[in-house]
Amino acid sequence: MDAGGSRERMADYLRDHHDKVAGRWTELVVSGMRGRTSVEEVRRELGDLFTLIVRVLSEADEHAAGELQAALDELSRSRAREGFTPSETALAVFSLKEAVYELVGDSAELVAEFLAFSRLIDELGLRTFEAYSAAREQIISDQMTTMMELSTPVVQLWDGIIAVPLVGTLDSARTQLVMEKLLDTLVATGADHAVIDITGVATVDTEVAQHLLKTVSAARLLGAECTISGIRPQVAQTIVSLGIEFGDIATKANLADALALALRQAGLKVVPA
């Protein structure tokens, strides 16, 4: 028996039983979704997919396969964004097999057709899974980029004084970014005093301290003096109990104190107007 023939016969069969199969398919998928998507939306999505699958099976035109893949990719991507699990996403495709099997299960003469159809659905299921994980990875890398951009502003406090408010966790990658940005800003603005504010840094361990020290010594090589500000009481206790030495680097409780120190070192004085 030729595979091409069975696929075509299956396409005819599906076309004949369109309403029944599509209806049952929608039912199965909706019950798996537990009400997170509207029935109408699922019916529309699956209706499009069903038409495409029939077109692929009947091998009527060469664009059908590409269109089906694009539609599946789109479906997986939106499912990934909406927070569905991978199996829930793949189930949307595999349910069609069940819907068709319920219909043809009794008729022995359609076995070859069903096998050909089943092979196609398996392929499509795998495809969904791949698209799903690709979409997830894309989301994660987008978020990483956003986080990196968000978390490293360098602000100018005064002529010749800049500040870097650090928020979150300091790891090597972020320290590198902060360091580069700080040094570039020092060169660009000609500032000779930098304040690194760690109010928003949750924990300071030996690694974070090491990163801070590196940043300060790099800034010193450029000829700029650094002050570390925003040391909270718990952080101070941790630093001392870990035996971290900041050496001759000035540390201050808050940004205001650090600014006052920087102004004093720059030979400036703030007087009441």
Partner 1 sequence: MDRVPILKIGQTLFVSIQIDLQDESVMLLQEDLADELSASGARGVIIDITAVEIVDSFIGRMLTMIGSISRLFDAETVIVGMRPAVAITLTELGLSLSGVRTALNAEKGLEILNGKT
| Residue entry with tokens 């800049």 | 162
Helical (H) or strand (E) element with 194: strand 193-201
Q: Does 248 bind partner 1 (CB under 8 A)?
A: no
Closer residue to partner 1 in complex, CB, 80/186: 186
The residues in 172-191 that bind partner 1, with binding defined as CB under 8 A, are: 176, 179-180, 183-184, 186-187, 190-191
- H-helix segments, 222-273: 233-242, 255-265
**Residue 267 or 272 having the CB closest to partner 1:** 267
**Least distance CB 143 / partner 1 (angstroms):** 26
- What mask of x and - would describe binding to partner 1 in positions 123 to 162, judged by CB under 8 A? ----------------------------------------
Distance separating alpha carbons of residues 264 and 262, to the nearest angstrom: 5
Span from 23-31, 220-228, 238-246, 253-261 in contact with partner 1 (CB under 8 A): 220-228
Instruction: Assess 192 for contact with partner 1 (CB under 8 A).
Output: yes
Shortest Å distance, C-beta 219 to partner 1: 8
Q: Which residue number, 59 or 159, has a Cβ lying nearer to partner 1?
A: 159
Phi, psi dihedrals of residue 71, rounded to the nearest 5°: -65, -40
Please write down the long-range contacts of 115-121, taking CB distance under 8 Å and 24 or more positions apart: 115/6, 116/3, 116/6, 116/7, 116/10, 117/7, 117/10, 117/14, 117/57, 120/7, 120/53, 120/56, 120/57, 121/93, 121/94, 121/96, 121/97
Residue 222 is a binding residue for partner 1 (CB under 8 A): yes
Residues that bind partner 1 (CB under 8 A): 176, 179-180, 183-184, 186-187, 190-192, 214, 217-224
